[in-house]
Amino acid sequence: MGSRYHFGTGEVRVWRVKLEHLLTAWPLVLERLKFAKHILLLTDYDGTLTPIVARPELANLTASMRLLLQELRRVHNVTLGVISGRALDDIKNKVGVKGIVYAGNHGLEIEGPGISFINPLADEIKPLIKIISYILHKTLGTMRGVFVEDKGLTLSIHYRLVEDNQTENVKGTLDQVVGGAQASGKIKITNGKKVFEVRPGVEWDKGKAIRLLMKKYGKGGRYSGLVPIFLGDDLTDEDGFEVIEKYGNGFSIFVGEPNTGTSARYCLKSPAEVEIFFSRLLESMSQGYK
């Protein structure tokens, strides 16, 4: 399998030229999974469990997907979790499955069986986020097609409905508002699919959240028998893919058309295929991986 290197600021990231389709590789996947003592099944929400939609409140789980998540939660050697850029309460309400791990704001806040976590530095910056939210609602909230989402610890500026020639105006206004805080290192801006994220300037991301959960539910590292699985569709998920790949005994799964550069090893083309994967996984575990 080929790979290519992306050189970012102070980092080298390996992107695979060709991904293995997870459903095509299913026999080999099952062969590895049947030796797992514990499976940590983690997934993004938007674009992974649900299709990308014009406004975040419109992204809802299908009844069949929710039922699969409920059934997977009941499997004795599976810990199920959803890691999202959404606020913690928002993602809990959207998924609506009890007894699983929920990580909101890209893992800055986590709740689940035996764990309750909030990044302390991000919590300190919360008042500044509130001020920036107020200003952005005044400056960007009136621009046609822009939606400013206040998620407590972070902000999302959605511009999917903005005309193409107005995108630079959105970014320019955002830079003006947060420029000083960004220069001081208190705030950072990241990009997603038609969204800008305003986050605390702390060294934390989905990858670090996944590493924390792996330590929590798989004491002993690679020798614990833990097999972590992470599914995601966006740039913010790449840190998670890299943690899985570095671990060496897990499955990193990019959801979307497989021609996009990613460090994931496997791919599924859509949330519909994610549902097929979950269904096959549940069926195989109930039959003892036969």
d(CA 271, CA 283): 18
Write the secondary structure of 246-274 as one string of H (helix), E (strand) and C (coil): HHCCCEEEEECCCCCCCCCCEEECCHHHH
Taking alpha carbons only, the member of 171, 149, 168 closest to residue 158 is 149
Tokens of 267: 């791919």
d(CA 187, CA 173): 15
CA 134 to each of CA 150, 230, 251: distance values in angstroms, whole numbers, following the listed order: 9, 34, 40
Q: Is 231 in contact with 197 (CB distance < 8 Å)?
A: no
- Classify 76 as helix, strand or coil: coil
d(CA 244, CA 124): 30
Catalytic residue among 44, 205, 233, 239: 44
Count of CB atoms within 10 A of residue 260's CB? 14
State the residue for tokens 């001081």.
Answer: 184
Q: Is 105 in contact with 85 (CB distance < 8 Å)?
A: yes
**Amino acid at residue number 49:** L
Can 44 be counted among the known catalytic residues?
Answer: yes
Which contiguous run of DSSP H or E holds residue 192? Answer: strand 187-192
Q: Which residues pair with 190 in a beta bridge?
A: 197
Q: Which residues pair with 6 in a beta bridge?
A: 13
d(CA 20, CA 137): 43
* Active site amino acids: 44
